[in-house]
Every structure is written in C-alpha cells, then in structure tokens.
Amino acid sequence: MNSEEAERIAFKALAFLAADAERLGRFLGSTGLGPEELRDKADDPELLAGVLDYLLSNEAMVIEFCRALEVPPGMIGQARGQLPGYSPPM
C-alpha cells in the first residue's frame, strides 16, 4: 500500500465518521476541531492519520467501518503505517 491509497482509506474513514452525528461529535470532541476546521483540513495527511488513529482506538468501530467498506481490518493498520507520525510498535 502506498501513501495515496492510505489517504483514500483515511478519507473514507472520515466520511464514515461524518455520516453519523454522534460518531462525528465524539471525534471532534477528542480532537478539539470544529466542523469548519475539519472541512478545511480534510485533505491534510496529518489529520487523516489522526482519523485512523481515532478509528483504531475502538475495535467495534474498526469492525463496523471494515464491514461497510468490505475490507479486512488489517488494512486500516497498514494504511496508518503509510501516513505521517507512525511509530511501529516495539
């Protein structure tokens, strides 16, 4: 997977969060971003990395997202590894 593919997955994850007001509200609350700032930064690789970090912090949400996209859950971690700020586990 390359960084472009990772960004596409992360953008789909952002759309997944935005499709549900409660999920989006929790994400915005955890980041401190407002809706307008989120729209302005939606294509920022660092923000997209944060979206995947947030998604990966909740196994049930990962499963729901992966079912919706019909992708294996491991693909989310692979995508995260291609975006800024990734530190592999030791």
* CA–CA distance, 88 with 43 (Å, rounded to integer): 23
Does 45 reside within a domain? yes
Does 65 reside within a domain? yes
Whether pLDDT at 88 is above 60: no
Q: Domain of residue 33: give its range.
A: 3-81
When divided into structural domains, the chain yields a total of: 1
Does 33 reside within a domain? yes
Pick from 57, 60, 54, 3: which is nearest to 27 by CA? 54
Does 14 reside within a domain? yes
Does 90 reside within a domain? no
Does 52 reside within a domain? yes
Does 87 reside within a domain? no
Whether pLDDT at 87 is above 70: no
pLDDT of residue 42: 87
> What percentage of the chain reaches a pLDDT higher than 70?
94
pLDDT tens readout for residues 24-36: 999 999 999 998 9
